[in-house]
Amino acid sequence: MKVSKAQAAEHRAGIVDAAARLYREKGLEGVGVAEITRDAGLTHGGLYRHFESKDALAREACLRAFEWTITPLDGLEQDAHASSMEKLQAMVDSYLSTSHRDHPGEGCPAAALATDAARAGPEMSEVFAQGVERNIQRFMRVLEGGPAQKRAQTIALLSSMVGALALARATAAGNPALSEEILRTLREQLVAGARAAG
């Protein structure tokens, strides 16, 4: 049965959304085409009508994954009354939360896929770098100071948060108390460090 252009676009978007979530949950090598298409409500063969290869899908899904949002930050970005420090606190608290740790499929792809992206070759690395740069630009809007100072501070904050979240996820099943301690310590230290620097 022939599908309309609108239906085809909807199917393609469904595949990309499913892949973006599943890759963050299970890694680039941890999920197959059949699982992605099944999650999107389509048949396995339908994938290759939309994508030239699994790698092409992975690159597009990675870009889609970088559209994730830190919910409290979204509202605060528009709030003229919220201070830079309040915005930073909300961003750090949300990113380094137990909920974000426990739901990688809905969260930051940098923490979920950095190691996979590094191993996937230059094309995936380029896509991943685009996503990281978008996050840097977005997070810079929260901070005060000149462009070079804000960029350096953002890179340090983002790198610290990604590393902390990755460690918290890696230790959650084996030592839940340590996992919570990592999240709590970084939430406290990152904001305290920003206050001291500001």
d(CA 76, CA 90): 8
Domain with CATH 1.10.357.10 in the chain: 71-197
The encoded tokens of residue 135 equal 């996050």
Which fold would CATH assign to domain 71-197?
Tetracycline Repressor; domain 2 (1.10.357)
93, 103, 146 from 197: Cα distances, Å: 19, 32, 13
48, 92, 172 from 37: Cα distances, Å: 10, 34, 30
Looking at residue 113, what is its pLDDT? 95
Domain with CATH 1.10.10.60 in the chain: 5-58
Give the CATH superfamily of 5-58: Homeodomain-like (1.10.10.60)
Looking at residue 87, what is its pLDDT? 83
Q: What is the pLDDT along the chain (198 residues), one digit of tens a residue?
A: 566 888 888 888 999 999 999 999 999 999 998 899 899 888 777 677 788 888 999 999 999 999 887 655 555 556 667 788 888 888 899 999 999 999 999 999 999 999 999 999 999 999 999 999 998 998 888 888 888 999 999 999 999 999 999 999 999 999 999 999 999 999 999 988 877 776
CB hemisphere CA count around 26 (13 angstroms): 13
How many C-beta atoms lie closer than 10 Å to residue 181's C-beta? 13
Identity (one letter) of the amino acid at 116? D
- Long-range contacts of the stretch 164-171 (C-beta < 8 A, 24+): 164/96, 165/95, 165/96, 165/100, 165/101, 165/107, 165/108, 165/111, 166/111, 166/114, 168/96, 168/101, 169/101, 169/104, 169/111
Name the residue with tokens 């959304």: 17
pTM: 0.87
Name the residue with tokens 């009508």: 49
Question: Nearest Cα to 134, choosing from 85, 78, 79, 69?
Answer: 69
57, 129, 170, 173, 190 from 161: Cα distances, Å: 27, 17, 14, 20, 9
C-beta separation of 95 from 108 below 8 A: yes
Looking at residue 156, what is its pLDDT? 94
